[in-house]
Amino acid sequence: MHTSLLVACILLVLPYIVCAQEKAKSTFEFTPFTSYRLGGDFDEIAGDNTIRLEDKNGYGLIAAWHYDHNRQGELLISHYVSNFDTNLAELHGSEVAISYVHLGGNIKLSNGIVPFWLSGGVGFTHLSPNAKHLNSETNFSASLGLNSKLSLSENMKIFIGGRIYGTFFDSESEVFCDSTECAIFIESEIWIQSELLLGVNVMF
């Protein structure tokens, strides 16, 4: 009688123990990554020329936490430094640091050897030119991406992904201004950049 009761209790509790262990094994994930950032065109205030940012390498970190097997919360920080590709005197030879900080999540789209996740987030973009006479800009932004994780071991995976960032400006905004004038004009309300990411995903 006692043995049967003990077995029944173990069978009832076992699923919760297994579930708790599974959650404990993969509650948090950290993914340091390197990236390649593309895009980000501006227009000159005077004239019809386009000011382009050079495509450059960047780096960042993703911290994720599990809601269940198919959903995650996520905090993304991505940073890079680029050069203005222009002959405009105010910007020639200048660099600009662009950072994204987004809070969002992931949804698993498929299982298998190569699973795919859809990522999204909202937050802000900080644009900081190194020219001291130009002001920095911070604006609301959002991102959407697709990524996959390829297993190396039980707690470590290769992370491969891509993202599109949209930074919101007032229509026909002027940016990077000094005390007297502005150097750059943004024609549309959404300023677009894209990014390819490669990192190592570690689960705790």
Q: What is the CATH number of the domain that holds 118?
A: 2.40.128.100
Could you tell me if residue 56 is inside a domain? yes
Residue range 81-90, pLDDT digits in tens: 998 877 766 6
Q: Is the pLDDT of residue 26 over 60?
A: no
The proportion of the chain whose per-residue pLDDT surpasses 70, expressed as a percent, equals 77
Could you tell me if residue 7 is inside a domain? no
Compute the distance between CA of residue 182 and CA of residue 135 in angstroms, rounded to an integer: 9
Could you tell me if residue 17 is inside a domain? no
What range does the domain containing 138 cover?
A: 28-203
Q: Is the pLDDT of residue 77 over 70?
A: yes
Could you tell me if residue 74 is inside a domain? yes
Domain count, the chain: 1
Could you tell me if residue 10 is inside a domain? no
- Whole-number average pLDDT of the chain: 82
pLDDT at 9: 41
Could you tell me if residue 5 is inside a domain? no
- Are 60 and 79 in contact by the 8 Å Cβ rule? The answer is yes
Q: What is the dihedral of CA 13, 17, 20, 22, to 10 degrees?
A: -130
* Entry pTM: 0.81
